[in-house]
A = this chain, B = another copy of it.
Amino acid sequence: MRITIIGSGNVATHMAAAFKNAGHGIVQVYSPNLQNAALLAYHVGAEAIDNLDHINADTGMFVISVKDDAITAVARALAVHKKLIVHTSGATDLNSLLAFTPDAGVFYPLQTFSKVREIDFRSVPLCLEGAGDEILAQLKQLAFTISNNVYTVNSAQRKILHLAAVFACNFPNYLYGVAQHLLAQHQMEFGMLRPLILETAQKVQEQLPGAVQTGPAVRNDAGTMNAHLQMLSDMPGLQDIYTLLSQGIIKNNNDVTANG
Contacts and interface: CB of A to CB of B under 8 A. Distances in A.
Interface of A: 10, 68-69, 91, 110-114, 117, 119, 123-125, 127, 149, 151, 153, 156-157, 159-161, 163-180, 182-183, 185-188, 190, 192-205, 208-210, 212-218, 221, 223-224, 227-228, 231-232, 237, 240-242, 244-245, 247-249, 251-252
A124 to B, nearest CB: 6
B214 A169 contact: yes
Contacts of A149: 192, 195
Given A111-B195, A165-B179, A167-B178, 15 more contacts: A69-B223, A112-B212, A114-B214, A149-B192, A164-B180, A164-B193, A167-B176, A170-B216, A173-B203, A173-B204, A175-B245, A177-B210, A200-B201, A241-B245, A244-B244
Contacts of A177: 208-210, 213, 252
B196 A209 contact: no
Given A196-B165, A209-B180, A237-B244, A170 B110 contact: no
A202 B19 CA distance: 24
A94 B166 CA distance: 40
A67 to B, nearest CB: 8
Contacts of A168: 175-176, 179, 193, 196-197, 200
Contacts of A186: 156-157, 160
